[in-house]
Amino acid sequence: MRRATVLLVYYRRASWIQSDVEILQRHYNVLSLVWNSNLDFFRLVALVLRSDIVLTWFAYGHSLAAVALARLLRRKCIAVAGGGEVTWIPEIDYGAQGSFKGRVSTKLCLQTADIVIAVSRHTASELIHVAHPRKLAVVYNAVDVTFFSPNGERKGAALTVSTGRTRSDLRLKGVDIFLEVAKRLPTFDFFLVGTSRSFLARMRYHVPDNVCVLGWVDRPRLRDLYRMCKVYCQLSFYESFGLSLAEAMASGCVPVVSDRGALPEVVGDCGYVVPYGDIHAICSTLLLAMRSYHHRSPPVRRRIVEHFSLDEREKKLLTVIRQLGRC
């Protein structure tokens, strides 16, 4: 029997998209298109013609083009909503729903696709307020729990990851709050990954002496940092899932997260959830997380293995694709 061909369309490379490519390659012929500009439309036409199924990540303009072409050429199509497309947070100017163009393109994409995948129940709940998809499924993002795993002794330190490039990004990821918590707890070490000290200086952020700002690091180095720290903080204003959080939990870090977006959904009852921006509560909870590390860490990792592993994503993603009735 001929293997179906799946076209994966996305606008930026990311580790979780590469994971999807590897999952799909085990079951289908896979084509990929990284959308860089509208000039890619002509290549998109050629690739859709060669495909049976189109799967597009993030319901922005490139996804609308892919989904519309798939419908026109009678191919099945799936759109993945990553979160930012279906929200609007005016305080930090975040989300596609803040513009007319974003609202229209996202709504048309999500209502045209045969199936829409949301990366969390929280994202699904936001999605249904902006669009009425034909069919909606929740398939969580996933972590390589073999690669991200505990190993060795740890120090009483806290870590957060933020890949922000603007002031809004820093607020989105709660970097301002993380730095303030570090200032209040000068006897502990804090690690900030994904942004640079020079960028923080340009944004006029004061970095306390007990914070090590590491900038971008590769996956092995990031794993080492997760393994070294007892606590992982995700103090974000908003998260549609929280992949770094899940990686840290798989590595055995006890999570301390804000009560925003899908963060409580990922943590479950294994970690600590605090009110967003409540510095006093975060400080006291972080100290509690440090003290409770030894008995909290095993169930924290077990939660990721059971609910957010690559194996789990593979099973659920294949279930969604098979609902299309073309495989």
In Å, the largest CA–CA distance within the chain is 64
Round to whole Å and give the CA distance between 321 and 326: 8
Average pLDDT, the chain: 95
The reported pLDDT for the residue numbered 327 is: 41
Residue at token pair 């603007």: 166
For 246, list phi and psi in degrees, rounded to 5.
Answer: -65, -40
Banded pLDDT at 100 (limits 50, 70, 90): very high
pLDDT band, residue 101 (cuts 50/70/90)? very high
Q: What confidence tens digit (pLDDT) does each residue in 222-239 have?
A: 999 999 999 999 999 999
Give the separation between CA 21 and CA 6, rounded to whole angstroms. Answer: 10
Which pLDDT belongs to residue 1? 63
Among 178, 190, 179, which residue's Cα sits nearest to residue 274? 178
Would the CA dihedral through 181, 213, 231, 307 be positive or negative?
A: positive
Instruction: Report how far residue 194's alpha carbon sits from residue 213's, in angstroms, rounded to the nearest whole number.
Output: 8
* pLDDT value of position 12: 83
The pLDDT-based confidence of 143 (bands split at 50, 70, 90) is very high
Say what percent of the chain tops pLDDT 90: 91
Q: What is the distance between the alpha carbons of residues 137 and 283, in angstroms, rounded to a whole number?
A: 37
pLDDT number for residue 15 = 87
Tokens linked to 141: 């993002």
pLDDT in tens, 251-279: 999 999 999 999 999 999 999 999 999 99
> What are the structure tokens assigned to 98, written together?
């803040």
User: Quick one: pLDDT at residue 44?
Assistant: 97
Confidence of residue 163 (pLDDT cuts 50, 70, 90): confident
Q: 182 with 150: CB under 8 angstroms?
A: no
C-beta of residue 45 within 8 angstroms of C-beta of residue 65: no
Q: What is the reported pLDDT for 2?
A: 76
